[in-house]
């Protein structure tokens, strides 16, 4: 393990004003998004869409890393340049999603475990040759009346730690993503309680797995009310509760926290990040690792038409820029109406 290299790559991904584009949607997920614009989900359409995003002029000012799906990291631009090489040549660190999705956890009704550890060491060897310098693994925790259970939390925490160890063994920066879902009717307080417990378990397992915290990035959920909760927390309450929870559980040695958007609208996710970055002092960089929150308007503007590439790129650049502003607390509500 080359700790200096791990630290260098982690720092580059979340350098000042930068964050991560999560373009690692599975084939099933991207099909749902293409269905919304009435576009068939063919390999070429998926390639063209990702190329539209990756080749957006000037976006490297705001995007420090891109998480790709297995299919995507093997694809090329129209000129025949592999996506990973294109990104690296433009100052953006290529990354790869390596988990194989959340599956039902045996004997734990309503809970899941993320699979994909078998053969992961060998897959990392291949992904490194394809250009990946960091990776991502997502553990999924749902909230309901009787869940999450301690058993499910521990199982997912251990899987995240085993994945992270395999990453660092091969000089690949692990993005550790324990996601407490915002589905359901739970309150902000319940979300904070569960997130607290999950992060405590994750960092205990990372310690046992001998993970070098300075060579990783945490990708957590924000502490937020469930979508069906009758009382929705204000943006200020979300920011305060999230930072309070993270300060309790995330060691200062972790260089960066790159939030997932978790079903929030682009404006909500950007505002929450901005408000959190106004809370001082913070021991870590607070950044973003957004999928739909960066892509939603770009996908709609593109619509699968080659003549709309510039329009799609304009929307992607706009939201990358706005989140770059949020990195320093500079995003204000309404800015999305004026930004170009």
- For each successive 10 residues of the chain (340 residues), what is the average pLDDT? 96 97 96 96 98 98 98 98 98 98 98 98 98 98 97 98 98 98 97 98 98 98 97 98 98 98 96 98 98 97 97 98 98 83
> CA 20, CA 13: separation in Å to the nearest integer?
7
Identify the pLDDT of residue 144: 97
- Structural element, H or E, at residue 165: helix 150-169
Cα distances from 48 to residues 33, 100, 165, in angstroms, run: 14, 24, 34
Q: Are 258 and 14 in contact (CB under 8 A)?
A: yes
| pTM > 0.75 | yes
- Per-residue model confidence (pLDDT) at position 340: 53
Instruction: Give the three-state DSSP class for 138.
Output: strand
Parallel/antiparallel/unpaired status of strands 102-104 and 112-114: antiparallel
Residues written for the chain = 340
Active-site residue (options: 51, 177, 179, 315): 177
> Which position has the token pair 């475990």?
113
From 18, 97, 219, 318, the catalytic residue: 219
Which residue, among 3, 5, 1, 11, has the nearest Cα to 258 in the 3D structure?
A: 11
Give pLDDT tens digits for 276-295: 999 999 999 999 999 999 99
* All domains in the chain, ordered by first residue: 3-338 (3.20.20.70)
DSSP string, 268-285: HHHHHHHHHHTSS--SSE
CA-only gyration radius of the chain, Å: 19
Catalytic residue check, 122:
no
Residue 260 DSSP label: -
Which positions ≥6 away from 222 have C-beta within 8 Å?
A: 238, 242, 259, 262, 264, 272
- In the residue annotation, 318 being an active-site residue is answered as no
DSSP secondary structure, 21-78, as one string = EEE---HHHHHHHHHHTT----HHHHHHHHHHHHT-TTGGGTEEEEEE-HHHHT-B-T
């Amino acid at each position: 393990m080359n700790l200096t290299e791990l630290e260098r790559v982690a720092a580059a991904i979340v350098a000042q004003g930068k964050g991560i584009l999560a373009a690692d949607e599975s084939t099933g997920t991207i099909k749902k998004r293409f269905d919304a614009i009435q576009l068939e989900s063919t390999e070429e359409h998926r390639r063209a869409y990702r190329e539209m995003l990756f080749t957006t002029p000037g976006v490297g000012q705001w995007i420090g890393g891109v998480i790709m799906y297995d299919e995507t990291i093997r694809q090329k631009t129209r000129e025949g340049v592999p996506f990973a090489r294109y990104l690296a040549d433009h100052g953006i660190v290529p990354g790869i999603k390596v988990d194989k999705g959340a599956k039902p956890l045996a004997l734990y009704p309503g809970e899941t475990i993320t699979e994909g550890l078998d053969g992961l060491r060998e897959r990392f060897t291949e992904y490194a040759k394809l250009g990946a310098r960091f990776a991502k693994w997502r553990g999924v925790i749902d909230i309901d009346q009787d869940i999450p259970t301690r058993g499910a939390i521990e199982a997912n925490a251990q899987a995240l730690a085993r994945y992270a160890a395999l990453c660092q063994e091969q000089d690949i920066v692990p993005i550790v993503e324990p996601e407490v879902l915002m589905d359901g009717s739970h309150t902000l307080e319940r979300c904070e309680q569960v997130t607290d417990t999950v992060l405590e378990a994750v960092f205990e397992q990372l310690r046992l797995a001998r993970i070098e915290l300075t060579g990783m990035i945490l990708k957590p959920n924000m502490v937020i009310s469930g979508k069906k909760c009758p009382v929705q927390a204000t943006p200020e309450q979300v920011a305060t509760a999230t930072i309070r929870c993270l300060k309790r559980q995330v060691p200062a040695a972790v260089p960066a926290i790159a939030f997932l958007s978790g079903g929030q609208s682009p404006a909500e996710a950007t505002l929450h990040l901005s408000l959190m970055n106004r809370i001082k002092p913070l021991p870590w960089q607070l950044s973003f690792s957004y999928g739909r929150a960066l892509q939603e308007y770009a996908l709609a503007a593109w619509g699968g038409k080659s003549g709309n590439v510039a329009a799609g790129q304009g929307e992607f650049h706009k939201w990358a820029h706005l989140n770059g502003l949020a990195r320093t607390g500079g995003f204000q509500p309404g800015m999305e109406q004026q930004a170009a």
